[in-house]
Structure 1
Amino acid sequence: MSRPFTKPAMTIAQQIAHLTAQGMTVPNAPVAEHWLRHVSYYRLSAYWLPFEHPKGQAGPRFVAGTNFQTIIELYEFDRHLRLLILSAIERIEVAMRGSWAYALAHAGGPHSYLDASLYSDRRHFHDNLSRLAREVGTSPETYIDHYRRTYDDPAMPSVWMVAEMMSFGQLSRWYSLLDDRALRSQIAQPFGLSETVLVPLLKHLSTVRNSCAHHARLWNRGFLIRMKLPNKPASLAATLAPLAGAGPARLYNSLVLIWYLLMQVDPASNWQADMKALLATHPTADLAAMGFPVGWEQRPLWL
């Protein structure tokens, strides 16, 4: 039995009328038209979802007092949140690229990453290598082109070159696949975390980074790729919030771990203060939806 999609396209005027009819206050129609035209109804709908009654409930769609201006402010808060997180992850990512390349280069030479015996799963290693080789073959980067024109043995560039061109997600996969725990620990050492914590954390942060880079809603998102919470140092453990069951991970612990990593790779960073200032501007002050525990401001890494 077919299930056809029957929702019609609406003009912007119809979108405003529809929101108003469903119980949302639209105090300034020209402002609403601007946002619906330049951001879109569908993208903004992710930000008014928390203000909706449960589906199937009789009456208006939106809870009393829902205002289009609040939706705009929440969207802007989320946009600034993504930019602030992306700036931090960029520094962490660059540091991780350098640590991975340095450790491998000194463990076995500039091309040691090509040694299949270093990895715990040969099939996954060859999958990663095939993907990387395709990117090297089509890369427009000057340093990759120089290597292709100058050398042919090995065909792949040195580890410090490929470290600069692979995605953060790729980097986390290459790192996690290393079979030698001592080598993984050496790479993790500059970050002040054990490799058992850093491996899943990088996978998680790669997902967070992609949400930021693709302009996706972030503030109250749940992440299926969870992290492992460290139990040391004590200040970090005391700042984290216990994971709630097996459900998606919320953003609070991600922010704590991002700040902890930043303290290792950029000790002069003002990121924590900038984040606290941004959190103070949340339009509804609903930080619980982000996983923030009561009294979070008094936990060690936020002081």
Structure 2
Amino acid sequence: MVKHWLSYDEQITLLQERGLNVADTASAAEFLSRVNYYRLSGYFRYWQVDPMAGNNRFLDGSSFEDIQRLYEAEQDLVAVCDEVLHPIEVLLRTRFAYYYAQRVGTIGTFARGDGFTQSPDPNDERVEEHALANLDRSKETFVSHYRDELKTGNAYSIDAYARMPIWVAVEAFSFGSLSRLIEASSKSGVLHDMAASMNVSPTTLPSQVRSFVYLRNRNAHCAKLWNHAVLDRPGLLPNIVRRVKRNHRQFSDHSIYKIFVALDQVATKTGLQHDWLANRVEPILATHPLLAAGIATPARYGEMSTQLLTTDH
């Protein structure tokens, strides 16, 4: 189907023709000038009759303002996420460099892969390759200061990082690369030292860090959190799950909320925040039950309660 350019006013008209109630067309058009129609289409589909089959008619009682409020409440939640995601990431970089230097080595050892458990498959990429690729691409002055111009072809050789301390290198690793290194550091004792210093379980920490990377990347790319089923689920001890479900709300295993629980646990145990989940997340969810449902128990198109979708929120 050929897609035609539509002005913001024409986009509103199209939504109205499909049965969406728009109380203030001027305000709605202004909102679409800030938030792409296509971005909102991922939310619209929950209010449409059967979008997968091409039926884009909206359910009776569907309101543009309800969808806008949902989106804006979700953005409030994203902002609250950064309050813990950023300091936790910095803490993880700090603790990894500290204990890796203590346990394995300070200068250049990471580039050789010392202290990391590698895949038994010789065809798999070595763990440290992800971190080295970050360093190769980096244009930071502190990286070039410690990186020698030793190359194999167009790529820097391992020896190019023979002078680089781990506490310097760790600041140039992506969060994803750091996560891989932490997970591969169990046998060397680095993972266990990190977990002990953070007062968290070494068995759940690697999956929790992966989930933090997952959430951070979705937020960085402005991706939808509402009704999103998480791929990288964090591990949680059973007593923590029971306590949160008793004190706050039920949540599914693949929910964004489960990552929030893990963030709260790590932030509390490390002293970065106190009761972040209760004090910062729950007030937003408590005032928006539609947002809360999609964050705690994500559903596919057609699976959410019509009453929940069309009630004035």
The alpha-carbon distance between structure 1 residues 50 and 96, as it changes in their structure 2 partners (threshold 3 A), is same
* Counterpart mapping for 1:166-245 below 5 A: 166-180=173-187, 182-231=189-238, 234-235=239-240, 237-239=242-244
Counterpart selection for 1:121 from 118, 123, 127 = 118
Whole-angstrom distance in 2 between the partners of 1:203 and 1:260: 15
Note if 1:280 corresponds to 2:286.
yes
What's the counterpart of residue 25 of structure 1? Answer: 21
* Aligned residue number for residue 37 of structure 2: 41
Specify the code of the residue in structure 2 equivalent to 1:185: H
Shifted more, 56-65 versus 26-35: the winner is: 56-65
Separation in 2, partners of 1:18, 1:154: 57
Matched length: 283
Note the residue ranges of structure 2 that are not aligned, 5 or more in a row: 150-158, 299-313
The Cα RMSD (Å) is 3.1
Which shifted more, 10-19 or 95-104? 10-19
Query: 1:17: how far off?
Result: 1.3
CA pair 222-254 structure 1, distance change in 2 beyond 3 A: same
Name the CA shift for 1:224/1:268 in 2 (closer, same or farther; >3 Å): closer
Q: 1:7 to 1:257 in 2, by over 3 A?
A: same
Partner of 1:77: 73
Aligned to 1:258: 263
Q: Which residue is 1:108 aligned to?
A: 104
Percent identity of paired positions between Structure 1 and Structure 2: 26
How far has the Cα of 1:134 moved from its partner? 3.9
Using the size of structure 2 for normalisation, the TM-score is 0.79
Q: Aligned to 1:165, what secondary structure does the other structure show? A: coil
Change in Cα spacing, 1:71 to 1:198, as seen in structure 2 (3 Å) is same
| Whole-angstrom distance in 2 between the partners of 1:59 and 1:255 | 35
Amino acid at match of 1:36: L
1:262 deviation in Å?
0.7
* CA distance 1:96–1:147, shift in 2 (3 Å): same
Aligned to 2:147: 148
Contact 1:188–1:194 (CA under 8 A) maintained in structure 2: yes
**CA-CA distance at 1:169 after TM superposition:** 0.8
1:96 deviates by 1.0
Distance 1:249 1:130 in 2: 30
Cα drift, residue 76 of structure 1: 0.8
CA–CA distance in structure 1, aligned partners of residues 53 and 105 of structure 2:
65
Structure 1: which 5+ residue stretches go unaligned?
294-303
* Corresponding residue of 1:11: 7
> SS where residue 208 of structure 2 aligns?
helix
- Whether the 8 Å contact between 2:117 and 2:184 is mirrored in structure 1 is yes
Query: Is the 1:236–1:260 contact (alpha carbons within 8 Å) kept by the matching residues of 2?
Result: no
- Secondary structure (helix, strand or coil) at the match of 1:164 reads coil
